[in-house]
Amino acid sequence: MDLAIAALLCMVGGIVAGLIGVGGGIIFVPAMTILLSKGQVEAESTSLLMIALVSVVGTWRQRSYGNVNLRDAAMIGLLSPVGVLVGVVIANAVPERALKLGFAALALYMAWRLLKRVFKEEPPAPAPADGPPMVDVPGS
Amino acid sequence: MDKRRIWSLAAVGTVAGAFSGLFGVGGGTVIVPMLIAFFAYGERLATGTSLAAIIVIALLAAGMQGGIYGNVDVETGMILVGPAIVGVVFGTALQQRIPEKAVSLLFAILLVGVAIYMVIP
């Protein structure tokens, strides 16, 4: 029964991933810790595997809607290994409580940034797919 | 692509990678708001590009957690990923039918909820 509820929650996580582009770990992790009694680190690690697969399908769908800048995505993804390494080492060295408080602080800061945007008057200029939204100076 | 842009994207990648390893959330929590705030992306393009970047980041982090620390429960992951994939197909389709700012609002609400959940002992 708990597995069925966890599966249902993970479907919701997938919907959230498609809607807001976050992979779904924010829901996968609590689904596993609360319903399946996984430890925080084990749930987070398993969630990463799920996120990778969900993101492949999500990217394929978003690409069909013209919503993926593959060049920027590749740049961000390929330049992230150092950060990943640092994060994984910290996750195994720092107490879970500290990790959770750190995550909470990050989440609140990002929420504030987005709410500022939602309640701003003028709409933002749309950026083209597969073209740099910032001005590129040729030859610079 | 100019150097400033490359360095900025590298910074986004590094921060996203670190948070991915720390919190197991694939980095999108960082990538989407950063692309919107610092790269003038619209919400849909930010979320689509974030998902593509997350593929690489999550694979690296999962590989390290599984390979080095043995923390990945592959069986549970495979059971739960099926419904999650159904969800993401539905979620991306739904996203095309709602206003872009609604995506930001949903993102912000979810982040506040997660923060509250994390702070409660």
Span B3-44, pLDDT tens digits: 888 888 888 888 787 776 676 555 787 788 888 878 889 999
| Domain range enclosing B39 | 3-119
Residues 6+ apart with CB under 8 A from A136: B1, B2, B5
Question: Which of A108-117, A122-131, B48-57 comes out lowest in average pLDDT?
Answer: A122-131
pLDDT of residue A102: 83
Q: What is the DSSP string of chain B?
A: --HHHHHHHHHHHHHHHHHHHHHSSTTHHHHHHHHHHHH---HHHHHHHHHHHHHHHHHHHHHHHHHTS----HHHHHHHHHHHHHHHHHHHHHHTTS-HHHHHHHHHHHHHHHHHHHH--
Nearest CB neighbour to A79, from listed B10, B30, B36:
B10
- Residue B119: phi, psi to the nearest 5? -75, -35
Question: Residue A28 in contact with residue B84, Cβ under 8 Å?
Answer: yes
Between A127 and B91, residue with greater pLDDT: B91
- Does A52 contact chain B (CB < 8 Å)? yes
Please answer yes or no on whether A80 and B85 come within 8 Å at the CB atom: no
* Residue B90 predicted with pLDDT over 50: yes
Give which of A56, A109, A45 is closest to B65, Cα–Cα. A45
A35–B contact, CB cutoff 8 A: no
Q: Is the Cα torsion angle B45, B57, B17, A134 positive or negative in sign?
A: negative
* Inter-chain CB proximity A62 and B51 less than 8 Å: yes
Of A24, A107, A118, the CB nearest to B111: A107
Judged by phi (left if over 0) then psi (alpha if -120 to 50, else beta), residue B104 lies in alpha
**A21 in B contact zone (CB under 8 Å):** yes
Q: Enumerate residues 6+ apart whose C-beta is below 8 A from B108.
A: A110, A111, A112, A114, A115, A118
Q: What is the pLDDT at residue A62?
A: 96
Q: Which two structure tokens, joined as six digits, stand for B10? A: 């590298």
Question: Whose CA is closest to A88, among B9, B24, B92?
Answer: B24
The domain total for chain B is: 1
* Chain B contact set for A36 (CB, 8 A): 76
The most confident of A34-38, A54-58, A76-80, B13-17, by mean pLDDT:
A54-58
Amino acid symbol at A11: M
A62 touches chain B (CB under 8 A): yes
Return the residue in A33, A100, A114 with the most chain B beta carbons within 10 A, the one to mutate for interface testing: A114
Structure confidence at residue B24 (pLDDT): 57
Does A4 lie at the interface with B, CB-CB under 8 angstroms? no
| A82 pLDDT more than 70 | yes
Identity of the residue in B1, B86, B104 whose CB atom sits nearest the CB atom of A117? B104
CA–CA gap between residue B109 and residue A27 (Å, rounded)? 14
Q: Which residue of B has its CA nearest to A139?
A: B2
Over the stretch A89-125, which tens digit does the pLDDT of each residue have?
A: 877 888 878 878 887 887 888 888 889 888 886 655 5
Contact A23 B72 (CB under 8 A): no
Contact B52 A101 (CB under 8 A): no
Percent over 90 (pLDDT), chain B = 32
| pLDDT of A103 | 76
Mean per-residue pLDDT over chain A, rounded: 83
Cα-atom radius of gyration of chain A, to the nearest Å?
18
